[in-house]
Amino acid sequence: MDYSFTPEEDAFRKEISDFLDKELPSEWFEKFRYTYWEEDDESWEITKSWNKKLGEKGYLGVGLPKEYGGLGGSHFHHVVFEEELYSRGRTPTWIEKNITVDWISPTLLEVGTEEQKEKFVKPAAKGDLVFCLGYSEPDSGSDLASMTTSAVEDGDEFIINGQKTWTTMAHRADYIWLAARTDPDAPPHKGITIFLIDMKTPGITVRPIINMLHSHSYNEVFFDNCRVPKSAIINQKNMGWYVMMVALNHERGGVNFPSHMKQLLGELVQYCKTIKRDGKYLSEDSVIRKKLAKLAVEIEVTTLLNYRTTCLQHKGKKITHEGSLAKILCNDMWTKLAQISTEILGPFVLLDRFSRRAPIHGDMARYFLNAASMGVGGGATEIQRNVVAQMGLGFKLK
């Protein structure tokens, strides 16, 4: 057993840390101060050019092989990079990177054709391509296998009809990673196929959904007789469920959230040491001290649970429920962190970004709003609990 990073990994951490100190665009923090599910046209420009910069250094795809534009690093190098990046809070790099480089690209490397790897993974790792995830539909959220968007074979093409929803970044993406039904007669899991489709294909319409932070981050995507070549299929026809499971396994290993929580906890600690109430620093209040200490304990445990998943991945072992288990605690921690920050800031937490008197740049008001989504996106917490109960404990749930 060894809970430490290797000297080489530590050196890599230092390299990333120095790079970020020097290169992170300062205007980002001054001008936008965005949290989750927020961005706009102007910030997107910065995101794109910053991701390209990361791509040039190979940092965007730390864990991807060098021949595909990555750094050829291990799972732990990836952890180190994500931790360093998210220890700076919400930087210009965000979920577009996770979707494109951390989730879809490794899946392509596992299950895609040589041609697809060449065409997509390298530009993705360079920051030249962005993908979005087309899974959820209005009537198929947690019950993804019930999806009805159809893809019907027609000569060398498939004709796609239907609707996806909650599609984050569809309005920015170059390609959509689309799950569609190709065999309506097969059992639900067995008739789905994944396609990677150019968003400029005729027949695709993107309609914005404004979220509760008043931002445009997710969308509805409509397919109206949209014709795509057979070469857009990932892996094989009707193998979509398997491909999605491969991609989901990459999605559930993230260390970015615990690292970001640590950063926010640090902000709160700093705040409590500088703000007085009733003549005493908040940091002297025993109730507040315990709340912050408890957060620190639970964030550490969350981090370690994610390390455990990484270890298994690193050793090439099969992951069953471990990613979901870590995600349960992680989701709950976000909500807890958000609530506790409100209890500590008191009425000041009501002050939004850029308001007079806003504490910690008004970030906490925004994270409090973000928290309403944290138990939902990427598979709701209840579904993760079902996974743990079934895969981890062997229960059969009806």
Partner 1 sequence: MDLEFNKEQQLLKSSVQDFLKKESPMTVVREMLSDEMGCSKKVWKKMAELGWLGIVAPDEYEGLEGNLIDLAIIMEEMGAACFTSPFFSTVISGIAVNEAGSEDQKKSILPKMVDGKLIMTLATDESEAWFGSPHISTTAAEDGDNYVINGTKLFVLNAHIADKIICLARTSDGEKPEDGLTFFIVDGKADGVTCHMLDTLANDKQNEVIFENVKVPKSSVLGEVGNAWDALEKVKQFASVAKSAESLGGLVSVLDMTAKYAKDRKQFGRPLGGFQVIAHYLADMMVDVDGSRVITYKAAWLLSKGLPAEKEVSMAKSFVSEASQRVTINGHQIHGAMGFCDEHDMHLYYRNAKTTEMQFGDSDYHLEKVAVEIGL
Least separation in angstroms between CB 55 and ligand FAD:
22
132 within 8 A of 169, measured Cβ to Cβ: yes
Least separation in angstroms between CB 181 and partner 1:
17
Site for partner 1 in 207-226 (CB under 8 A): 209-212, 214, 218
- Residue 351 touching partner 1 (CB under 8 A): yes
Tokens of 129: 């391509």
- Residue 245 touching partner 1 (CB under 8 A): no
Nearest to 303 by CA among 262, 250, 267: 262
195 within 8 A of 153, measured Cβ to Cβ: no
Tokens 């491909």 locate to: 243
Tokens of 240: 């979509």
How far apart are alpha carbons 154 and 229 in whole angstroms? 10
Tokens of 265: 């906890």
- Residue 18 touching partner 1 (CB under 8 A): no
Tokens 């309609």 locate to: 207
- Residue 30 touching partner 1 (CB under 8 A): no
- Residue 342 touching partner 1 (CB under 8 A): yes
How far apart are alpha carbons 318 and 294 in whole angstroms? 32
Half-sphere exposure of 298 (CA within 13 A, CB side): 21
Q: Which stretch binds partner 1 (CB under 8 A): 88-96, 190-198, 302-310, 366-374?
A: 366-374
Least separation in angstroms between CB 371 and ligand FAD:
11
DSSP sequence for 298-311: HHHHHHHHHHHHHH
- Residue 277 touching partner 1 (CB under 8 A): yes
- Is residue 167 helix, strand or coil? coil
Residue 189 interface partner, choices ligand FAD, partner 1, none, CB cut-off 5-8 Å depending on type: none
Q: Which stretch binds partner 1 (CB under 8 A): 67-75, 221-229, 265-273, 352-360?
A: 352-360
- Residue 232 touching partner 1 (CB under 8 A): no
Indicate the angle between helix axes 7-23 and 75-86, nearest 10 degrees.
40
The 197-236 site mask, x for binding ligand FAD (CB under 6 A), equals ---------------------x------------------
Indicate the angle between helix axes 322-345 and 286-314, nearest 10 degrees.
160
Residue count, binding to ligand FAD (CB under 6 A)? 20
- Residue 303 touching ligand FAD (CB under 6 A): no
The 93-132 site mask, x for binding partner 1 (CB under 8 A), equals ----------------------------------------
Residue type at 221? V
Residue 135 interface partner, choices ligand FAD, partner 1, none, CB cut-off 5-8 Å depending on type: ligand FAD
- Residue 146 touching ligand FAD (CB under 6 A): no
DSSP sequence for 57-119: HT-TTTTS-GGGTS----HHHHHHHHHHHHTT-S-S--HHHIIIIIIIHHHHHHHS-HHHIII
Q: Which stretch binds ligand FAD (CB under 6 A): 7-15, 64-72, 111-119, 374-382?
A: 374-382
The 368-387 site mask, x for binding partner 1 (CB under 8 A), equals xx-xxx-xxx--xxx--x--
Least separation in angstroms between CB 217 and ligand FAD:
7
The 106-145 site mask, x for binding ligand FAD (CB under 6 A), equals --------------------------xxxxx----xx---
For 369, the enclosing helix (H) or strand (E) is helix 363-374
Handedness of CA 176, 177, 182, 185 (dihedral sign): negative
39 within 8 A of 82, measured Cβ to Cβ: no
- Residue 168 touching ligand FAD (CB under 6 A): yes
Which residues contribute to the site for ligand FAD (CB under 6 A)? 37, 132-136, 141-142, 166-168, 218, 373, 376-377, 379-380, 382-383, 386
